[in-house]
Amino acid sequence: MQTTVQSTVRFSGVGLHTGLPVALVVCAAPVDHGIVFERTDIRLGNARIPARYDFAEHSPLCTMIVNDAGVSVSTIEHVMAALAGCGVHNALIKIDGPEVPVLDGSAAPFVRGILATGVKRLAAPIRVIEVLSMVEVHTAQGWARLGPGGGLTMDFHIDFADKAIGKQSKSLDLANGTFVRELCDSRTFCRAADVAAMRAAGKALGGTMENAVVVDGDSVLTPGGLRHHDEAVRHKMLDALGDLALAGAPLLGHYEGHKAGHTLTNMLLRELFATPDGYRIRECNTALAARLPGAGVEACEIPAVA
């Protein structure tokens, strides 16, 4: 059955890129509402933005959605991954600023808050998007593709010059709480050499050693080091799940990303939905629902390091 949160869940912090303080509240929503953001600081006009791929604007450093009135919310990928990974299909997210709080740089605080509140079943079946044929997109930096699959599985490959990251690959079946156990606590990361340029461009103004993994060559500068030896590729998979959640319903398929980011994953969804025979929407039976991310997950599964 479709779900929402049992009651409101509150978060506060600063935006990773704006550095501005922000409060975010995840509220219960009815059947077929989907995930929708509402800017509570916008008093006039349309302040609601559906969390869907066709409202996303391309950005290399985060995922931003914008409505027809030009109202936007950015860096939504971590909270979207948390909702998808906890199996929440419907929510109204009220936010009093232009960017989701970064918290510790991972999705774990969002997951912890959602699971502590609980997930409520609604009286309607889940509709899923089943990928029927391969779609693929490329840029000069990398590529991403989606193919058929019985659940949601993911392969991801990264390759960075810094030896602290280097080449990493990981494959996961995201069924039955894998996201919560394996990915949710992995933090955003950056190269020390890129920090000054990002800040000069007005980005990463809220980034600190408390909410990001910073690497320099073969060194991890963030105190405490890594939560996982392959934390970087795990975080890229976290981001990918959050970006795939903009499909508007759970996906059944196999995602593969090679040096992929937010732009490539959004391009991939646009390619999928521009291919009429490439997918179908179907109701989810009990057996299939049990294979979706978030099915049966419990708060005790959140890694202790987060």
DSSP three-state, residue 114: helix
Structure tokens at 46: 């349309």
CA 207 – CA 297 distance, rounded (Å): 30
Q: How far apart are CA 168 and CA 177, in angstroms?
A: 22
The tokens 């077929």 sit on which residue? Answer: 32
Q: Which helix (H) or strand (E) holds 74?
A: strand 72-74
Q: For this structure, is 262 an active site residue?
A: yes
Per the CB < 8 A criterion, the answer to whether 187 and 107 are in contact is no
In the numeric block, which tokens belong to residue 179? 């996201």
Could you say which of 78, 235, 254, 262 is catalytic? Answer: 262
State the number of CA atoms in the 13 A half-sphere of 295 facing the CB. 19
Annotated catalytic sites, by residue? Answer: 262
